Amino acid sequence: MKTFFVAVAAVAAMSAVAWAEDMKMAVTTSFHNSGLSDILLPAIQEDLGLEVQLLVVGTGQALRLGEAGDVDAILVHSKKAEERFLAAGHGTHRLEIMYNDFVFIGPKADTASVADSANAAQALQQIASTESVFVSRGDDSGTHKKELSLWASAGLDPQSLGDWYRAVGAGMGAALNTASGMDAYIISDRASWLNFGNKGELALLYSGDPVLFNQYAYIPVNPDKHRHVKNDLAMKLENWLVSDRAKDLINTYKINGETLFVFNAK
Amino acid sequence: MSDLWDGLSQAWILLWTLDADLVEITARSLQVTLTALAIASAIALPLGAFLAVRRFRMRRLTIAVLNALMGLPPVVVGLVVYVLLSRAGPFGVLGLLFTPTAMIIAQVIIIVPLIASIAHQALRELWSDYHDLLISLNTSHVQRMSALLWDGRRALLTASLAGFGRAIGEVGAIMIVGGNIDHHTRVLTTAIALETGKGDFALALALGFILIGLAIAVNLAIHWLTRTEQEGRW
pLDDT in tens, B4-32: 888 888 888 888 888 888 899 999 999 99
In a domain, B119, yes or no: yes
HSE-CB for B12 with a 13 A CA cutoff: 5
In a domain, B148, yes or no: yes
Q: By three-state DSSP, how is residue A121 classified?
A: helix
ipTM of the complex: 0.70
Q: What is the pLDDT of residue A6?
A: 55
What is the distance in angstroms between the Cα of B39 and the nearest Cα belonging to chain A? Answer: 6
| DSSP letter string, A211-238 | GGEEEEEEEEB-TTT-TTS-HHHHHHHH
Is A171 in Cβ contact with B197 (below 8 Å)? Answer: yes
* Residue ranges making up the domain that contains B102: 2-227
Tell me which residue of A33, A66, A12 sits closest to A190, measured CA to CA.
A33
pLDDT in tens, A111-169: 999 999 999 999 999 999 999 999 999 888 888 889 999 999 999 998 888 889 998 88
User: Which residue did the predictor score with more confidence, B231 or A105?
Assistant: A105
Pairing mode of beta strands A213-220, A95-107? antiparallel
In a domain, B233, yes or no: no
pLDDT in tens, A162-172: 889 998 888 88
Q: What is the pLDDT of residue B233?
A: 45
Q: Which domains does chain A have, with CATH numbers?
A: 17-99+214-263 (3.40.190.10), 102-212 (3.40.190.10)
Angle made by CA atoms A70, A73, A79, in degrees to the nearest 5: 115
Q: How far apart are CA A204 and CA A107, in angstroms?
A: 9
Q: How far apart are CA A53 and CA A39, in angstroms?
A: 14
pLDDT in tens, B140-181: 989 999 999 999 988 899 899 999 999 999 999 999 999 888
Residue B196: list chain A partners with CB under 8 A.
Answer: 173-174, 177
In a domain, B232, yes or no: no
CATH code (residue B37): 1.10.3720.10
The total number of structural domains in chain B stands at 1
A126 touches chain B (CB under 8 A): no
Q: What is the pLDDT of residue B234?
A: 43
Taking 90 as the threshold, does the pLDDT of residue B35 lie above it? Answer: yes
Whether B168 contacts B2, CB under 8 Å: no
Restricting to A residues 3-32, those with a Cβ less than 8 Å away from any Cβ of B are 3-4, 7-8, 11-12, 15-16, 19, 24, 29
Whether A73 contacts A84, CB under 8 Å: no
Restricting to B residues 113-172, those with a Cβ less than 8 Å away from any Cβ of A are none
Q: How far apart are CA B108 and CA B170, in angstroms?
A: 12
Beta partners for residue A136, in sequence order: A167
Mutation site for B-interface testing, chosen from A3, A15, A65 by largest number of B Cβ within 10 Å = A15
pLDDT in tens, B85-97: 988 889 988 989 8
